Structure formats: C-alpha cells, structure tokens
Amino acid sequence: MTVVESTSELAAAPIDTYRIFQLGGLGEIGRNMAVIEFNSRLLIIDCGLLFPDETQPGVDLILPDFEPIRDRLADIEAIVLTHGHEDHMGAIPFLLREVPELPIYSSRFALALLAPKLKEHRVSAPLITVADRETVQIGEFQVQFLAVTHSIPDSFALVIKTTAGTILHTGDFKIDPLPLDGRKTDLEMLSHAGDLGVDLLMVDSTGAEMPGFVTPERDIGVVLERVFTAATGRIIVASFASHVHRIQQIVNAAHATNRSVAMVGRSMVKNQTIAAELGYLKVPGGTLISVDQINELPENRVVLICTGSQGEPMSALSRMANGDHSLSLGENDTVVLASSLIPGNETSVNHLINKIMRQGTKVIHKGNADVHVSGHASAGELLQLFNAVRPRFVMPVHGEHRHQVANSKLAQLAGVKPTNVVIADNGDVLQLDQSTLELVGHFGVGMVFVDGSSVGELAEASLKDRRILGEEGFISVFLAVDLVNGKVVVGPEIHARGFAESDAVFADVMPQIVAAVETALAAGQLDERALSQLVRRTTGKWVAARHSRRPMIVPVVVEA
C-alpha cells in the first residue's frame, strides 16, 4: 500500500473508476468528510467538526485534514450535505476559505442553519436547495436525495451514479415508523436503488452495537408530559439546539401541562427561530415567552429549554450550575437532560449532574427515565437496510472502530461476503470498479486544531505540554554559574505553579542541584545547554521519587 501526502502523488485512477476516501469520520464520532473521485473530478460528502475532549486543552474545534486535496481544489465539483448537524457541516466555512464559491447542495433546513455560519466567517457559496427524491447532475456525478429520519429535520441519504456504478451513502439515519413530521425514511426508493444495483453502500455505524430497533421519537412525549406533571417548580430541559423534533415534544408537554416556554442560549434561540420561521417547529399561541418574563410567572408555570446536555463548559446549563448565569438553580427545580451521551463526554456530564444535585435540584436523565431515543439506526434497522439494498460492497462509516466492526458483522449476517466488507480508516484510498473494491493507497491525515484565530498551527507536542501543565504543574529553576571557578554563584531559585502550595518544598533538592552542576563544571562541562539539561534531570528525578509527579521543568543556566 502506498502512503502519500496528496492525491497528486497517487497513480492516476483508471477511467470510469471510483476512488473513495475519508478525511475524517472513521474511527471517531465527528468531522465527517468523504471524497468521491471519478474521472479526475471530486465530489465532497459533508464537511464536519469534531469537538475537543479533556485531552485537548485550549482547542476550540477539530477539522478534517484538507491536505490530501489541497492541490486538487480546482477539481472539486461541489459539496453535498446530508444534514445540518455540526459534525457534518461545521467545517464548511474553513474549506470555503480555500475554495471560495463552492456550490453546496442540501435541504432547506440544513442550508438555513449553514447560511449564518458562512456570514459569520465572511465567506460565501451558492446554496442550492434540493427536495426529497430530487435528482441533480453535478458535473459527471448524478446525485439523488432520499429522505431519511434522523434527530434533525430534512436529513438525506444520497444515491450517486456515474458510468462506474452506484454508491449509496446513508448519511445519519434511523427507521422511525412514526416520525413527528411524517417524513419517513424512504425505504421504497432505497429498495428501488437496490433493485437497480448498489455497488457500494456507505452506511451509518453509530448504533450498530445496539440490538433491536430504536424507540419511536413520539414515545418521548408521553414521558416528558409525565415528568412535567410531577414537577412542582421550574423545569429546565437541556437538549441539542438542532433537535427540532425533541424541542417540539418539550413544547407540546409544556402546553399540555399549562406551562410557558422560554428558550435560553444563543444557539438554542437562533436554531428554533429558524425552525419556526420555516414551519418545522409549531408553538401554540401564548406558549412562548422571553427569559425576561420568567419571574412574572409562578415557578410551576415555567419551562426553560437550553443547551448543555453534554456538559459543555460554556453552555447555558453549565453556567447555571456554576452560578455564572443570570438564572440560578434551586431546590424546587427539575433538570431534564433530554439526550444521550456522546462518546467522550461521560465525565463532563456526570460532573455536571453531580454539581446540579449538590444544589438540591432533581435531575432526570436517560439513566433514570426514557427521556431520549437515538437518531441512529440500531442493529435491526441496519439489517432491514442491508436486506432492502443488497449491496455488492459495504463500507461502514460514521462511528468509532468498534461501531464499524459491529456494522460489518451485520452486513455479513445479511448475506454480504466477508471479503466485500471494508473497515477503512481516515486516509485509506479505496478503488471501486465493476468487479472489485480494493485499497490502493493511504494519505497520512491527522487532526487539524482550531486554536483561537489559528488553524492547523497547533501541534500534538504543544498539546502534550498543555496536558502536562494542566495535570502536573510547572517548575522553573534558575542558576548563575562562574565558569572560570566552577561554582554556582546565584541560586538555584525555584518557582512552581500548580505543583505545591509553597516553594519551600524544594529546599531538599537545592543542594542536589548545586552539587550536580559543580561536579559537571569540575569535569570540564562548560556548555550552558548541557548544564540546563543536567538541572532538568536532577530536579525531575527528585520530583518523581519524592512526589510521584512529572511536571514541566524549565531550567535556565546563565554565566555570571
């Protein structure tokens, strides 16, 4: 297998052959971005973000790695967007900085969410709205958009056709027989695509480990209404700002229990305003109030809908829990976390729940009530899809490695040959023709960190330094030496941050540092850099032995 940095370093693909690779979204939940190449033209499916975890301090966002296509930007026909979640479209403004005016095809709701992001980043692109079952010719790619149910309105699966064959990309999907908006996953057209022949199925893997079928979304409404009826004070519901169907259920439950609703948080207000204007969210007259009107009503007449279900530190709910918000939590309040845990957020969410409960506030979450259902197909629905589509080849996408493995086993259970199922990694280049799907190369892709105004400048080594500073602390050691007489004449002066309450703790190691340096000077070691390294080793050995810590140690040795 050839390992390369960009597409130009790979041998040219044969005529009428697909090449498929992902620059993010495999082996992880987030930054989904697939590239389909046909006859030297590129079609991009999604371009999303990944949000940092506690091992990436100071990082704002994580992008797909655009490097493999950076010398092919002029060959990109368009972006086709499966839906409006951040992990599928949040990186588009960063790509548009490099490819201005790149056409973007998607649903009315996804593009309505995208438009203000482009304006905020001061980039622009033609936004082309497509409808269910609509077919669009994008260069040499014929793309049909099929309705699928997900945790955001107007999600699509994509049927992509060229003379090389047919690729079906499910996007994120589930098969809900009773969706709130009546827009079901289009099994009829998915089966029709299977009848005509699907050469490669790129299929959502997130729910592949879960047995059976996902509970219908509308079942949540009954649970919410029961929770609202039992609550004696204010109710604060945290949900994803994009989950319009869940917000609709919350509004319905509030109206049924004679409560008014206030939206809290910039993203929540923005998204629900867009949803209401486009008719996706229907709020009964007199139900919606502003945050300023909350105190005018009794506590048992109020529902707040906010962000923060994943424990995000700057979200409305986290700020309420920390006392940093104009709204505070009380003993009579009930907090409902109407979402599941995104992998990696478990610690943050558990910490948030404990912090809220310490204030005497009741917390309802998926662990103690059925207040959430997944937006991703479980094993039963995936088997139903495999049986309907009957693909020649399968590539599990969107999920951690274990999800991809579980999905591959389901494909084989449905009759796909084991040799025809490919578990790929980000950067793997697959080549598809009428008879084979094979790995022909690999791009050395990595994570691209957005840190303040910088994009891609932060290296993993710097992140390692930040982790050490955050977890182990910082120690500086200063000495001045007389190289002629071989003596330490000033210091060592030792200062620490995040290591100990007082610098007096270093009294024991100071003589050891002086002895080590003067021994080296006596042996003829006069290089200040080498002496600095000796100070680091001596201090580090003492810290590890005495305190079992590994702080960042910065030695400074100068000539007096």
pLDDT digits 0-9 by tens, 463-511: 555 455 555 677 888 888 888 778 888 878 887 776 655 667 788 888 8
pLDDT number for residue 493: 84
Tens-digit pLDDT profile for residues 303-344: 999 888 887 777 888 888 888 888 888 889 999 988 876 666
Query: pTM value?
Result: 0.80
What's the rounded mean pLDDT across residues 112-136?
A: 95
The residue type found at 556 is V
Q: The tokens of 90 are what?
A: 């949040």
3-state secondary structure of 446: coil
Please state, in angstroms and rounded to a whole number, the distance separating the CA atoms of residues 403 and 406: 5
Contact yes or no for 240/51 (Cβ under 8 A) = no
Residue 516 has pLDDT above 60, yes or no: yes
Tens-digit pLDDT profile for residues 252-306: 999 999 999 999 988 899 999 999 999 999 999 889 999 889 889 999 999 999 8
Domain 472-559 has CATH 3.10.20.580: yes
Distances (CA, A) of 476 to 96, 299, 552: 44, 54, 8
Contact yes or no for 83/156 (Cβ under 8 A) = yes
Q: Which residues contact 437 (CB under 8 A, 6 or more apart)?
A: 200, 393, 395, 420, 422, 430, 431
Segment (H or E) for 44:
strand 41-45
Superfamily per CATH, domain 219-364: Metallo-hydrolase/oxidoreductase (3.40.50.10710)
pLDDT number for residue 95: 95
Identify the residue whose tokens are 């610690």: 347
The full set of domain ranges for the chain reads: 14-212+374-451, 219-364, 472-559
Please state, in angstroms and rounded to a whole number, the distance separating the CA atoms of residues 141 and 364: 47
> Long-range contacts for 313-316 (Cβ within 8 Å, ≥24 apart)?
313/348, 315/238, 315/265, 316/238, 316/264, 316/265, 316/268
Q: Which residues contact 298 (CB under 8 A, 6 or more apart)?
A: none
Residue 50 has pLDDT above 90, yes or no: no
What are the helix (H) ranges across 77-159? 86-89, 92-96, 108-120
pLDDT number for residue 147: 98
Assigned CATH for 14-212+374-451: 3.60.15.10
Identify the residue whose tokens are 């530190």: 313
Q: The tokens of 501 are what?
A: 């309450």
